[in-house]
Structure 1
Amino acid sequence: MMKKLVFVVVALIGLISCSTDLSGIEEKLTGLEKEGANLEKKYDDAKKESERLDKESDALEAEVRKRQEENEKIRQHLLELEDSLNTVEPKLLSMEFVAADNPLQLIENVKCTIIGDSAVECRILNITSSKVLIPRFTFQGSVVTINGEEVESGVSEIDFSQPVVLSIITPKTIKDYTVYVGAYTGLPTVWLETTTHKDIEQSGQYFNGRLKLAATPGTSENGYVTQANAKMMIVGPVYWYRSRVHEDLQLGKNAYSILFNENVSLFDAPEGKAWEFYTNTGDKTMLHKQTAFYLSSISALEYTPRFYHVNLLMNGRYYGTYLMGEDLEASEGRVNVGSDGFVLGIGASTYGPSFTTDHLERAVSVIAPSSSQSDASVDYVSNFIATAENALFSSDFTDESNGWQKYMDIDSFVDWYLINEISKNENGAFRSDCMMNLTRGGKLKMGPLWDFEKAFSVDASPNGFVIKNVNWYSRLFEDPAFVAKVKERYDYFYSHKNDIITEVSNMAQYLKYAIQEDNNKWYTFSSDLIAGDQVWALYQTSVYAMEDWLNTRMDWLKGEFDAMA
C-alpha cells in the first residue's frame, strides 16, 4: 500500500514538473512563430527587391543596348563624314568683319570679296589705327588656320595689318587664300570689272567691262556711285610680281586706259569718253604730275587736264593708289580746237599718223582727230608746222609780223616752257608726249601739259637748263621778245613759289592714309612691311626733299633769268 502511495506521489510530482516544461516550450514556439513570420516578411521584401532589381537591370541592359546602337550610328556617321571630308574640296565660302565683334575698329560691317580661288579682299570704310580684328567665316573643310595657327570664326583675333595666308584644311589637302584688309584712305574709289571677270593681262588690247566710281570717300561699292560701260586696256608694258605670301606670279601695278561707250561726266568734270589711270610708280610722293598741273592751273595755258587720286580695284582686287584723269580729246570741255582742229604730240607714245620736221628732235603724231581722218588733214597740219619752223629759223625770225610769232603763240610757248623747266622735266625736252594744239586759222600753241614721269627728281641737280637746250627753244631764246616774256612770266611764277610748295604739302597730307595702304600692297618705302607711322615718316621725308629741291630750283632759275639781257 505504501508503495502505491509513493508511486502516486512521484507521478503527481512528475506531472507538475512536465506542466511547467510545456509552458516554456509554448513560449519558445510562439517566439519561433514570430521569428518565422519576420523571416517570411523579409523574404517577401527581398523577393520584391530582387524583382525590382531585375527590372532595373533589364532597363539598364535595354539602355546600354540603345546607347550601343546610338554609338554605332554615330560611329558610322563619323566614318561617313570622314569619308566625305576626305573627298570634299577645301573652300572658303564667306568672310566678313562684324562691327559688334570689333567695336573699336569698325563702325559698320565689312563683307569681304573672295576672288577666284586664291585671294580675299576686304575694305574697311572708316579710319582705323589698328587692323587687329576678329573675322567671321564659313568654309568647306575640317580646320581653318591663319599663318599656320588654328582659328575660330567669331572668336580669334588676327593682325591683318599685312596680308595673311588663310588655309582651309582637309585630311587630304590644303587650300590657301591670301587675305588683304585695306582701310579708309580718304580717296574716291574706282572699281573696274571686266565682263569675263578675268584680269587684263596683255597690253594694247581693249577688254569690255564696267566702271563704278564712288567719288565720295568712304562710300561702299553698293553706295552712291557713277556707273558706265567701258572698254579698258593696259597701256605700256605689263608688269607682274610675286606676293610675299603667295608664290604664284600675279598682275602688278599697271597703267590703264578707259574708253566709255558714251560721254560720261566724272567728278563733275565735263563729259568725255577717254580717261587714264597712272601708277606714279617711279614717284614716291605721287605728286609730280599733280604739282605740274597745279602750275598749269595758275598759268596762261588754256586747258589743264583734270586728274584725281583714287583707290583702284580691278575685279575686286585692290591695286593701290592711282592718278585718274582725262585723256587727251579734242572737245569743248578738254582741248578746245574746234571741230576740225588738231591735238599733236612730239614724241607721243600713242598711235596715229605722224611726220617729222627738219629741227624737231622727235616725230610729231596727230592725236586728234583720229587716224580715220583724211590725209588732207594731216597734210594741213604738217605743212603748217613746216611753215612755222621755217619762220623760226629764218633770218628775220624776230620780226613779230613775219617771223615765228606769226605762226606760234608766244604766251603758251613761254608758260609751257617755264613749267617744264621749273620741274626739270627730262621728257619735256621734246622726248616724250610733248603736246601742242592747233585751231584752223589760228596759231600753234603748246599744251596741254602731259608727261612728268621724269620731273622733280631730287636725285638730279636743281641747277641747269633742260628745255632751253632743245632746238626750237634754243632758237626762241635768241629773240629778245621771247626772253623778255620769259622773265616777266617767271617773275609771276616765282611770286607764287610759297603757294606752290604749300600746295605740295597739302596734297601730301591728303594722301596720308592712301600712302600707307599702297605701301602695304607694293612695299614702296621698304622691302619689309613696316608700320603705318613709319610709312608716313618715310613718305614725308620724300615730300620734304621734293619741296627743298623745288625751292632751290626756283631760286636758281630766278638768278639765271634775271641775268639774261
Structure 2
Amino acid sequence: MKKQLLLFATCVALLSGCKDNDENGRPDSPATQPAITAFVFEAARNPQTLIMDIKCAIDGNEISGLIPYATDLDKLVPSFKGRFAQISVNHTVQQSGVSENDFTKEVVYTVMDSIGQTVDYKVNISCFEGAESGPAITSFVFEAAKNPLYLLSDVECTIDGTSISGLIPYVTDIDKLVPTFLGRFDRISVGKVSQQSGVTANDFTKEVVYTVTDSKGTSAEYKVNLFNFTGLPVVTVETDQRAAITSKENYVNGTLTISKTADFKAGYEGAMRIRGRGNATFGYPKKPYKIKLDEKSEILGMPSDKEWVLLANYCDKSLLRTSIAFKLSELMSMPWTPRTEFVELFLNGRYEGNYLLGEHVKVSKNRLNADDDGYLIERDGYYQQEPLYFMTDRGNPFTFKHPDTDDITQQQVAYIKDYVNKFEYVLYSQNFMDPEEGYRKYIDVDSWVNWYLVQETLCNKDTNYYFFKKNAQPDTKLGMSPVWDFEWSLGIGWNYTEPARHDVLVQRSLYFDRLMQDPYFAGLVKERWKTLKSEYLPQLYAYINETAQKISVSQRANFTKWNILNTPVSVEVITLGTWENEVQYAKDFLTRRVQWLDSAIPIW
C-alpha cells in the first residue's frame, strides 16, 4: 500500500512539472522560452503621428505592421506584452508604452527570461503603399469659436497635396482669421513667425504659405487660399460719390476690384468708367453694364484690354444659355469667341447677383482680328439709336463696331455699303449658285455655316448678326462672327402666349433662306452637322453639367436677390420654380432639338 501511495505522489509531481498548455489546450513551445505575444502602436501613445491603433501581426519571430496612411515612422512608441523578464533594443532596455524607436528601418527587439534565455524579434513597420511620410498638415479648420467676430460656423478646408483651400459662404472680413490645424511636424511657421493652432491669426485676403518642419529638419510648404461668398470671383464696383448708373451713353467714373479665387490667383484693382449697355435688357431690373478700364489689363485670365462687359442674364433663369452658346462657338472654331467668366457683382455696396464678366465685342489683336482698314458691322434692329448706319438696297440696316464712328471716313462707309449691296444683289439673282461669280465670291462660307448651326442647334430666335471683313483688299471676304445674345434660346418662349417649340427653324431669314437653296451650301451644313453631333455635343453636355456645378452656390444668392423663379419674365410663358428645373429644362430642350434636327437636316 505504501508503494502505491509513493507511486501516485511521484506521478502528481511529474504532472505538476509538465509544460503549461496554451489557451486552446495545446502545449506551448517550451514554457520557459521568452516571447512577445502582443505588439501594438496605440494612438493614445502616439498622438502626433497616429489617428488609430495599429495592431501588428506576429509570425514566429517576425512582427509586421501596416499604417494605412502617410505618417512619420521615426519616433513611434509601441505597447507590448509577452513572457520575458527584460526586453531591449541594442542593449537599451525598453518600456512598453514609453520607449520610442525609429521604425523607418527594421528594429530588433531582444526578449530575455529569468534564467537568461533570449529570443530576437524582427519588427518591420510600413505605411500604406503610395503614401508619403514626412512633415504634413493633415487638418486645417477655421473654427467659429476661435473667430467669433467673423464666422457663423466652422469652415473646414480641403487639402489637395500641398494646396489648402476653403470657402466661407457669405461676405465677411478674412484679414484676421485664426486657423486650427493638425499634422505631422515639430514646427510650423508663416515666414519667420511661429504658428500656434487655434491662436495665431493671419491675413487670408491673400495666399498664406505655412511651412511645416519635422524632427529631421525636413520641410514642406502649404499654400492656403480662403475665399468668400460663393467661390466665384467677387467683382466690386464703386462709383465716385456712389453715383447711379442711369445711361447707356454717359460713363460714370469709379473703381473696379476683383477678388482672387481657387481658379484665379490674381485679383485686380484699378480705376475705370462704367455705363449701361444692351437694348431691351437695360430696361430690366437686373441691368447689364459696359466697363472701360483706365489702363489695359488682363482680367481673370482673359487677354489684356480696356473694354469689358457685365452680362446680367436676367431673362435666362438657368443663367447658362450665353455661356453654352460661347462654348459651342469655341468647339465649332468660330473666328472669335468672346471669353467670359461667372462672377458675383457688388455695385456701390449692394449685391446685384450672378453675372458674366467678359470681352466686349470689338476688333483687336486678342479679340476679332481685323486690320485697321477692316470692318465689323452689325445688322441692327436698333440702328436709329446709333450715330452712324447704312441701309442696303434690300432694306437691311447696318451699324458699325469697327472702324469707330468717330474715326470712319465717308469712303470707308461707301466701300462696305457697296460690298454688302453687291453680295445681296448676287445672292438673290438667278446666277447666285455660280461658284466663281455667285455669292461665294463675297462671303467666307465656312464661318457662315458654323454661325448658322450654332443658332439652329440652340434654337435661338432672337440673335445679333455680326459680320466682319479683315480688310478692304479684294481677296478678303465677309465672314460671320461672333455669336451673341442667347437669352431667348433653348426653349424660352417667343410670343408671350405659348411655350417654345423645338421642331421649327428659327434662322431662315436674313440670307439663309436663299443660301439653303444652294445644294453646295446645304451640303456643307449637313457635313458640319455630323461633326457637331458626334464630337461637339458630348463635350457641350459635359460643359453644361460642370458649369452648373460651378455656379450652384451662386444661383442661390442670385435668386434670393431676384425672386423670379415663379414669375414669367419677358417672353417666358412657363415657370419651373427652381433653378435646377430650369437647367434640366434647357438640357432636355437641347436633346429634343438635336433629335429633331438630326431627322430634318438630311432632307434639306
Say yes or no: does 1:561 pair with 2:592. no
**Residue 369 and residue 453 in structure 1: after superposition, are their counterparts in 2 closer, same or farther (change >3 A)?**
same
Contact 1:343 1:369 in 2 (8 A): yes
Say yes or no: does 1:483 pair with 2:516. no
Q: Which has the higher contact order (CA 8 A, sep 6+)?
A: 1
**Residue 252 and residue 104 in structure 1: after superposition, are their counterparts in 2 closer, same or farther (change >3 A)?**
same
Q: What aligned pairs does 1:128-527 form with structure 2 within 5 A after superposition? A: 128=169, 184-216=229-261, 225-236=267-278, 252-347=285-380, 349=382, 351-359=386-394, 362-372=396-406, 373-428=408-463, 433-440=464-471, 441=473, 442-458=476-492, 459-468=499-508, 470-495=509-534, 496-526=536-566
Paired with 1:471 and 1:207, the residues of 2 have a C-alpha distance of 37
1:382 match: secondary structure = helix
1:185 Cα deviation (Å)?
A: 1.1
2:147 match: secondary structure = coil
Answer 1 or 2: which has greater helix percent. 1
Paired with 1:563 and 1:238, the residues of 2 have a C-alpha distance of 37
Paired with 1:197 and 1:517, the residues of 2 have a C-alpha distance of 23
Instruction: For residues 73-100 of structure 1, give each alpha carbon's deviation from its aligned partner in whole angstroms, at most 9, with x where no partner exists.
Output: xxxxxxxxxxxxxxxxxxxxxxx99823
1:271 Cα deviation (Å)?
A: 1.7
2:337 match: secondary structure = coil
Paired with 2:145 and 2:445, the residues of 1 have a C-alpha distance of 60
1:348 Cα deviation (Å)?
A: 5.9
Contact 1:105 1:128 in 2 (8 A): no
* Residue number in structure 2 paired with 1:545: 585
Aligned to 1:99, which of 147, 163, 173?
Answer: 147
Paired with 1:126 and 1:393, the residues of 2 have a C-alpha distance of 59
Question: How many residues align structurally?
Answer: 378
**Residue 101 and residue 330 in structure 1: after superposition, are their counterparts in 2 closer, same or farther (change >3 A)?**
closer
Instruction: For residues 191-231 of structure 1, give each alpha carbon's deviation from its aligned partner in whole angstroms, at most 9, with x where no partner exists.
Output: 11112223323443211111111242599xxx963122211
1:318 Cα deviation (Å)?
A: 1.0
1:259 Cα deviation (Å)?
A: 1.3
1:212 match: secondary structure = strand
**Residue 497 and residue 465 in structure 1: after superposition, are their counterparts in 2 closer, same or farther (change >3 A)?**
same
1:130 Cα deviation (Å)?
A: 13
Answer 1 or 2: which has greater strand percent. 2
Instruction: For residues 41-68 of structure 1, give each alpha carbon's deviation from its aligned partner in whole angstroms, at most 9, with x where no partner exists.
Output: xxxxxxxxxxxxxxxxxxxxxxxxxxxx
* Residue number in structure 1 paired with 2:167: 126
**Residue 378 and residue 313 in structure 1: after superposition, are their counterparts in 2 closer, same or farther (change >3 A)?**
same
Paired with 1:213 and 1:97, the residues of 2 have a C-alpha distance of 30
Amino acid at match of 2:243: K
2:592 match: secondary structure = helix
Moved more, 476-485 or 225-234: 225-234
Instruction: For residues 401-435 of structure 1, give each alpha carbon's deviation from its aligned partner in whole angstroms, at most 9, with x where no partner exists.
Output: 1111111011001000010111111123xxxx311
Contact 1:238 1:254 in 2 (8 A): no
Paired with 2:355 and 2:551, the residues of 1 have a C-alpha distance of 11
Contact 2:390 2:417 in 1 (8 A): yes
1:282 Cα deviation (Å)?
A: 0.5
Paired with 1:104 and 1:462, the residues of 2 have a C-alpha distance of 47
1:304 Cα deviation (Å)?
A: 0.2
**Residue 128 and residue 306 in structure 1: after superposition, are their counterparts in 2 closer, same or farther (change >3 A)?**
closer
1:502 Cα deviation (Å)?
A: 2.1
Contact 1:204 1:236 in 2 (8 A): no
Q: What are the ranges of 5 or more consecutive residues in structure 1 without an aligned counterpart? A: 1-95, 109-124, 132-181, 242-250, 528-535
Paired with 1:323 and 1:97, the residues of 2 have a C-alpha distance of 36
**Residue 206 and residue 415 in structure 1: after superposition, are their counterparts in 2 closer, same or farther (change >3 A)?**
same
Instruction: For residues 446-479 of structure 1, give each alpha carbon's deviation from its aligned partner in whole angstroms, at most 9, with x where no partner exists.
Output: 11111112111253111010102x1411110111
**Residue 404 and residue 368 in structure 1: after superposition, are their counterparts in 2 closer, same or farther (change >3 A)?**
same
1:269 Cα deviation (Å)?
A: 1.7
Amino acid at match of 1:550: L
1:286 match: secondary structure = coil
**Residue 130 and residue 448 in structure 1: after superposition, are their counterparts in 2 closer, same or farther (change >3 A)?**
closer
Paired with 2:170 and 2:548, the residues of 1 have a C-alpha distance of 19
Q: What are the ranges of 5 or more consecutive residues in structure 2 without an aligned counterpart? A: 1-143, 157-165, 173-226, 493-498, 568-575
Amino acid at match of 2:511: W
Contact 2:378 2:398 in 1 (8 A): yes
Contact 1:344 1:437 in 2 (8 A): yes
Paired with 1:451 and 1:387, the residues of 2 have a C-alpha distance of 28
2:418 match: secondary structure = helix
**Residue 344 and residue 523 in structure 1: after superposition, are their counterparts in 2 closer, same or farther (change >3 A)?**
same
Contact 2:243 2:252 in 1 (8 A): no
**Residue 239 and residue 547 in structure 1: after superposition, are their counterparts in 2 closer, same or farther (change >3 A)?**
closer
Paired with 1:259 and 1:212, the residues of 2 have a C-alpha distance of 13
Contact 2:170 2:228 in 1 (8 A): no
Paired with 1:238 and 1:317, the residues of 2 have a C-alpha distance of 23
1:463 match: secondary structure = coil
State the superposition RMSD in angstroms. 3.1
1:389 Cα deviation (Å)?
A: 1.4
**Residue 106 and residue 340 in structure 1: after superposition, are their counterparts in 2 closer, same or farther (change >3 A)?**
farther
1:278 Cα deviation (Å)?
A: 1.0
**Residue 102 and residue 340 in structure 1: after superposition, are their counterparts in 2 closer, same or farther (change >3 A)?**
closer
Paired with 1:299 and 1:240, the residues of 2 have a C-alpha distance of 30
Amino acid at match of 2:469: L
1:261 Cα deviation (Å)?
A: 2.2
Paired with 2:450 and 2:294, the residues of 1 have a C-alpha distance of 35
Q: TM-score normalized by structure 1? A: 0.62
Paired with 1:217 and 1:336, the residues of 2 have a C-alpha distance of 31
Contact 1:211 1:229 in 2 (8 A): yes
Q: TM-score normalized by structure 2? A: 0.58
**Residue 376 and residue 129 in structure 1: after superposition, are their counterparts in 2 closer, same or farther (change >3 A)?**
closer
Contact 1:99 1:107 in 2 (8 A): no
Give me the identity figure in percent: 28
2:549 match: secondary structure = helix
**Residue 267 and residue 218 in structure 1: after superposition, are their counterparts in 2 closer, same or farther (change >3 A)?**
closer
